[in-house]
Structure 1
């Protein structure tokens, strides 16, 4: 895919540069990466759709006390160079592999993937099994997700048009709603990082990227199916068990009973995923929903990382 021409998003990025980390050039693009700690296996965080590497700063900083820890932004997201979206999972995983090599991050890697990042982590492990020491997956996107869901929800999702979901100008009440939600989750973060992330997350550019990156999710699922089963690597799947404020905001009009059915279906799916490999495990995590996993339960994420490092 060709890089997007410089424009509003590039200006936004230049005006609000990340407070830590550096850039590495991969195939003519500047990719953002921040690494801390030392030792191996190296922990690499794969952000969910609509999130960026520094959203996982709180867990990353703790993981860096144990080993080398890395957060980064995929091309087209966060502070990395723009690129046409959506992209294939092969493009994303090839890019990550090259970035880690260019940045001198030693393998093997313990991949921590959230949501869409969880699908990319599984695809990476399937394609490059010898480079992966383990997987921690936070509510990972999965090609069989809809098969475990109530039909009413599936019909709602099928009718959803991402091109219509993101107008050119967001109503101020929507912007303020999301600003408040992020401010609540990041309340105890360092002010410079907190304010920067909140401003960027409510900007039209970043919001639009979140929709664009997952527009080809059916094609991503097909790629995952074609890649074959997961190799025999240690796996911990963390399944969130609550309806958080973000879920409630984007699900207005959906009965809470239906959202609880989604959580139950997700638990069954992730139980099957964990059972698909000899060293797989599912952990049910209370007190958080899908979007706020790393904000509300960094302890559960760090414990899973520490347990896999111990193996």
Structure 2
């Protein structure tokens, strides 16, 4: 089986599964130094965000130079908030399809190709959600795409969104997680024989174009315990199934997936979980209006 076939099978099944993700996080040393904390509280306190008098209104579609290479950033629409859409593993901006245009009818909407995806440069070293979030922020600054941001993450983009929120809390107005891979994902999937080949790929990031060090990335995000009172919406499929699993394996993974969604919701004191029927892992493609309603609901 080729690497591409293996990656496709992993994304189309294990992610759509109840696979739970082994989270990455920023430790206290990883969190942006500007983060302030209220006395006697572990909750980040949003620092003031200066919004330029003139926010961009023209489309952006170009390679942007950051410390580790060039990232392809795309932004359309206009509004007082920029919605950052972070796609799943190895998908890049193309993973959002027409949903990007739907968001742009309500706000400035930005997507990007991570290193090793789309037309962005190949990564110079292994990546984690923390390095990806830092590079995205640098690209936004270089391209003149200021906050405030509402970060929307799908699949592996969910842990990246959580990491972005923990690093730059004062620049966010909210977070939306779409079937976000839970922080126990690698450890759970690697117990299922049907996914052992995929697990081997995760253990060797140099074999994948994105070079995401999956185990290190999720280990980091598992240490993020709060985003304070930042509005957080967790969207997940009401039911899921996958080929190649025994009923016992499916039930176990379903439980771990549900536990993972509850763990994401515990990150914020204002979080809610929304379950969507008649969909699978790609909820924003299958049921775009259900997801759009939640995104727009967090806009000013």
CA distance in 2, matches of 1:226, 1:268: 16
The aligned counterpart of 2:94 is 54
SS at match of 1:287: coil
Q: Which ranges of structure 2 fall in alignment gaps of 5 or more residues? A: 1-59
Greater relative CO (CA pairs within 8 A, separation 6+): 2
The aligned counterpart of 1:302 is 292
Aligned-residue offset at 1:275:
3.5
The aligned counterpart of 2:17 is none
Query: TM-score with structure 1 length normalisation?
Result: 0.68
Aligned residues: 237
Does 2:191 correspond to 1:218?
Answer: no
The aligned counterpart of 2:191 is 155
- CA shift digits 1:2-58 (9 cap, x unpaired): xxxxxxxxxxxxxxxxxx932212226221111111112110001110312122131
CA distance in 1, matches of 2:262, 2:295: 19
Instruction: Answer whether contact 2:150 2:174 (CA < 8 A) is retained.
Output: yes
Shift in alpha-carbon separation, 1:89–1:276, aligned structure 2, 3 A: closer
Shift in alpha-carbon separation, 1:164–1:271, aligned structure 2, 3 A: closer
Does 2:209 correspond to 1:209?
Answer: yes
* Pairwise CA RMSD: 2.8
Shift in alpha-carbon separation, 1:157–1:117, aligned structure 2, 3 A: farther
SS at match of 1:71: strand
The aligned counterpart of 2:8 is none
SS at match of 2:71: strand
The structure with more helix, counted as a fraction of residues: 1
Does 2:253 correspond to 1:262?
Answer: yes
CA distance in 1, matches of 2:298, 2:291: 11
Query: TM-score with structure 2 length normalisation?
Result: 0.70
- CA shift digits 1:94-153 (9 cap, x unpaired): 101101111111201100001111101101111111011100001212324578x6xxx6
- CA shift digits 1:272-300 (9 cap, x unpaired): 4314421100001122212x222212112
Which of 136, 144, 155 is the equivalent residue of 1:104? 144
CA distance in 1, matches of 2:168, 2:193: 32
